[in-house]
Structure 1
């Protein structure tokens, strides 16, 4: 198979990985680099195999069963617990949508000037219209092209003078100095392994099934398994690699510039962009700002969409970006409400950083039971048939669950 054919096979995994580096994630990675330099780069080395395992498990559930993650969780958990978890997912996602839209508005205002809230409203309307009126088979191509924006952050590290020896040390030697570093490590885990990504990738595998009359869930047509599972592995390994490399580029870029210059007080992605301007120049500032806007356009629909998939799966309602709004009223209603509530946060008296903190807390709480449920589902023969998870997938999946459980405990012990 040629490299061009391999690139064409990239889909849900690539989009999911790229959406992981949303403006809120950019803020977290920027804070890590600005405050602690290169010393926390090892977190991404640890996260990569865990991300791959969790997203492989999520994709496998969707492709094997032909159902989303919410539906599968409902087979092993009490209905009230699934409803609670997905309700909390909606709240956390909505806060993230609001924070991402605000960051996009701030970045646009920094670059071209103008009313920040005006840009925020524009991006919210643009994203909502695309989700409402562009069918999935076209919309997914838009999302795939938007992933190219992430290369702006990789370009950033070639604009500054990097100490590669120190970077390599930070990448492989775990270092934590003080409670502040512990909090940042927890934040990195929380923003990198987030529940909305599990629901989204499983749902996109189901969406892809519906795009072809020949494709069937693997439980019904196991002969399709070799090609399907090979494609999922390639897609997920590449998607999570893109996510991790970009996160490392942001940490390294801000460590080399902001940390070295003593600019450690970074409260948002837009703060990082603005702080870069006098330190690294106008080009670095423009590249960083462009990345915020592009990744926001990619991540906002993933956040809003994952909530809608989860809610509609447990409600038994139509859930597909391929359907027109009148065929999936509940699905698009949830997306619209998520966008509207997210916008409302920007006009509320709640501090954006405070809102993001509580979003991280909710994600940390939700991630653990969802991961436990996911690992039980993917290991259960009555659900997965002959396509239960391999030993290595179970090992890394349960390891990810343990790490997220430890992160949730650390969040309580080191709250700020």
Structure 2
């Protein structure tokens, strides 16, 4: 077991991607607004992520191709090939650029919690973090980037575990929240956002691309599955800790919170300065890790689905990754409230998830490509359940939006 933990790899990229500022902010608002009630959504999202990411990793290990490559190959003579390329390309490129803005803003908020907040420091922080992410993407090999992200995941885990221990949540209420599904009045948007911030569509492309680089043959599938379960399980635990910390501190005390940055500040008079610094460190690590993985996943996906000559793929990979960082930095500095950017990205993710998951299930049922490693009845049932639940929640949210223009203000004091 210890050897598997020491060799954790592609799964950590997935965890580093979904434990970003969006997760910290959405989880904070969930706990501050609804206490422990929505923890079941985190548990569902964690299990759903394991189900879908295991498929993605299996695809990469068995075929030695990414998800985008496989879809293009399977649909090469189909009418749906180019509509699929356009849909995936636009959704990932535009969505991840907005996501990147939230990542950079969140990392800057983490620094602000550590050093003191000011408009000037926010601008400098966003610029510095964007430059750091761009530098790692430009010069770092996959293995170097992987090591950096594993380190950041460890920092996040330690920071949020320590903060959880300080606030001492109600374990009985925590258990009920995990096991008893309920959607309180005004909680639907937050449920969709919690799922969208955990089951991240672009991670399906990132994981397949990373897994094929780490494991060269199907004989390594057990290692790939263990890596997925351990890393994503840790990510789910971190999210549960964040929701529970906000429930114990903000909800229990009747305090309002607009962002995770505000939570860091408001924890200080309740539990001392250590909470502020721990949460700030966790938010910074979350922002930086996701600021690397969002451009990386976009670059993998775009170079896989577009007809690019092999010799030009590395240059295209860099160009796509760096352009996502640049657009994200521009959006982060455009004067839009960071929390608005972050929550909009989570909401969009929740609506996009069923579409990308259907593409994944389609690819995983191609026996001509995967042979005996194609999905069986049990895996297809689990995957279909994830798609169905995500689609129902997303549809309910769209219908509610059509009925009312006031729903956006219900879940949190934005």
TM-score by length of 2: 0.90
- Cα 1:124–1:140 change in 2 (3 A) is same
Write the mapping of 1:13-412 to structure 2, written as runs, cut at 5 A. 13-74=11-72, 75-76=74-75, 77-113=80-116, 115-151=121-157, 152-178=159-185, 180-209=186-215, 215=216, 224-225=217-218, 227-266=219-258, 268-317=259-308, 328-412=314-398
Within 1, Cα distance between the matches of 2:326 and 2:265? 28
Structure 1 unaligned runs (5+)?
210-214, 216-223
Q: CA deviation at 1:361?
A: 4.2
Within 1, Cα distance between the matches of 2:92 and 2:114? 33
Deviations 1:4-25 (A, max 9, x none): 3222332111221232110111
- Equivalenced residue count is 393
Within 2, Cα distance between the matches of 1:200 and 1:110? 30
Secondary structure of the corresponding residue to residue 277 of structure 1: helix
- Cα 1:38–1:364 change in 2 (3 A) is closer
- Cα 1:282–1:339 change in 2 (3 A) is same
- Cα 1:162–1:360 change in 2 (3 A) is closer
Contact 2:11-2:228 at 8 Å conserved across structures: yes
Within 2, Cα distance between the matches of 1:171 and 1:15? 26
Q: CA deviation at 1:381?
A: 0.3
Q: CA deviation at 1:382?
A: 1.5
Between stretches 232-241 and 352-361, larger displacement belongs to: 352-361
- Cα 1:389–1:379 change in 2 (3 A) is same
- Cα 1:387–1:203 change in 2 (3 A) is same
Within 2, Cα distance between the matches of 1:259 and 1:314? 45
Q: Flag as ranges the 4+ runs of structure 1 deviating above 4 A.
A: none
Q: CA deviation at 1:318?
A: 7.3
Q: 2:3 aligns with which of 2, 5, 9?
A: 5
Deviations 1:216-238 (A, max 9, x none): xxxxxxxx42x411011111111
Q: CA deviation at 1:397?
A: 1.1
Within 1, Cα distance between the matches of 2:347 and 2:177? 27
- Cα 1:336–1:59 change in 2 (3 A) is same
Between stretches 268-277 and 244-253, larger displacement belongs to: 268-277
TM-score by length of 1: 0.89
Contact 1:49-1:396 at 8 Å conserved across structures: no
Contact 1:18-1:295 at 8 Å conserved across structures: yes
Within 1, Cα distance between the matches of 2:148 and 2:43? 29
Within 1, Cα distance between the matches of 2:234 and 2:309? 32
Contact 2:8-2:227 at 8 Å conserved across structures: yes
- Counterpart in 2 of 1:219? none
Within 1, Cα distance between the matches of 2:346 and 2:25? 13
Q: CA deviation at 1:29?
A: 0.3
Within 2, Cα distance between the matches of 1:378 and 1:101? 34
- Cα 1:108–1:172 change in 2 (3 A) is same
Between stretches 310-319 and 291-300, larger displacement belongs to: 310-319
Between stretches 111-120 and 127-136, larger displacement belongs to: 111-120
Q: CA deviation at 1:327?
A: 6.8
Q: CA RMSD in A?
A: 1.9
Contact 1:318-1:330 at 8 Å conserved across structures: no
